A and B are shown apart, each in its own frame.
Chain A
Amino acid sequence: MASIKLTGDTSGEITISAPAVAGTNTLTLPASTGTMALTSDVSEPNFVRLAGETLSSDVSSIAFSTSVITTTYKTYVLYSRLQPKTDGARVILRVNDNTGSLLTTVSDYGSQVYRGSGVDFSDSTTSSVYPVSSSGNATGEYAYYKHEFSEIRASDKKTTFLFQGTNISTAGNCAFLTGGAIASVAEDNQGLTVLFDSGDIASGSSYVLFGVKS
């Protein structure tokens, strides 16, 4: 049988059909009452997961090339939960220039940060997207961050960053910060790297990167 037909009480009919080459497959209906949606009823997600993993090894950095940071999205969101191998290290971000070289000098970024307990930091000459606050490396200590960045692949606009972070200590204390940053030159930044300003990122750290549809 290629199809079955369900006749409406008043009029018409609905045909449920199998493809011509159907293979051997099972379609299981939900064991609940409701109306099934068509694919045309389901919106495509606007928040698209591009990459993510829990690290199984210590690494010096987490980098995304133009294979991941493409021109498809203007805005990206990166969530990270990172533990440093070195106590008191800071989560920093760097982008590549338009030739793919990592930008690392104090003329490459500007950063502004408000940190809990009243620290107000503003510097137009930082060597990274710089958070001021640091994270411990004891068991249970880690840094949790959300970095949003926009126009990273635009050649005529500077890449801008918004970020929020909390550094968690074993004593149950936390250091909250929020800030913004820019890459100083408007260019097509061909990739992005997350790292600590000192030491490696510990195994067990994790991240997930999303692209945001315009």
Chain B
Amino acid sequence: MKKYVDGQYIEMTAEEVTARESQMTKDIEFTQSVENKLAQKETDKANGRQKLKDLGLTDAEVNALIGE
């Protein structure tokens, strides 16, 4: 595995490869946590929309309320 520093291709040391792989694991976990939060936000939005519609609001009225 190579890294590219200031225009030079440099073979990474075993320690650097290990550190990179460890960091990737953390980065993938971070991304998964972000995706989970965004998915929950969408679920909350859909649930909120449905509750407003259950109260008798039209889609157009809900859109106006939430700025869509």
A binding-site residues for B, Cβ under 8 Å = 51, 53, 55-65, 67-68, 90, 92, 104, 106, 118-119, 121, 123, 126-128, 130, 132, 197-201
Asked whether, in the complex, the Cβ of A127 is within 8 Å of the Cβ of B30, the reply is yes
Q: Which residue of chain A is the closest to B35 with respect to CB atoms?
A: A132
Q: Who on chain A is nearest to B16 by CB?
A: A60
Which residues of chain A come closer than 8 Å to B5, judged between CB atoms?
63-65
A63 touches B20 (CB 8 A): no
- Is the C-beta of B1 less than 8 angstroms from some C-beta in chain A? yes
- Nearest A residue to B31 via CB reads A197
Main secondary structure of the interface of A (DSSP, over half): loop
B30 adjacent to A60 (CB under 8 Å): no
Given A57-B9, A119-B38, A121-B34, A62-B4 contact (CB < 8 Å): yes
The answer, among A53, A92, A128, A199, for a CB contact under 8 Å with B7, is: A53
Residues of B within 8 A of A57 (CB): 2, 9
Known: A119-B38, A197-B31. A60 touches B20 (CB 8 A): yes
The answer to the question of B46 belonging to the interface, with a C-beta cut-off of 8 Å to chain A, is no
State the interface size on chain B (CB cutoff 8 A): 20
Knowing A59-B2, A60-B3, the reply to whether A128 touches B27 (Cβ < 8 A) is: yes
Number of residue pairs spanning A and B whose beta carbons lie under 8 angstroms apart:
61
B2: contacting residue among A58, A67, A121, CB under 8 A: A58
A144 to B28, CA, bound (A): 21
Q: B26 at interface (Cβ–Cβ under 8 A)? A: yes
B15 within 8 A of A: no
Please state if B2 and A60 are interface contacts (CB–CB under 8 Å). Answer: yes
Contact of B27 among A121, A198, A200 (CB under 8 A): A198
| 20 A/B residue pairs, CB under 8 Å, sorted by A | A51-B7, A53-B7, A57-B9, A58-B2, A59-B3, A61-B3, A62-B4, A63-B5, A64-B5, A90-B31, A104-B23, A119-B38, A121-B34, A130-B34, A132-B34, A132-B38, A197-B30, A198-B24, A200-B1, A201-B4
Given A197-B27, A198-B28 in contact, is the A60-B6 Cβ separation under 8 Å? no
**CA of A119 to CA of B42, assembled, Å:** 9
Q: Which of A60, A90, A121, A123 has the most CB of B within 10 A?
A: A60
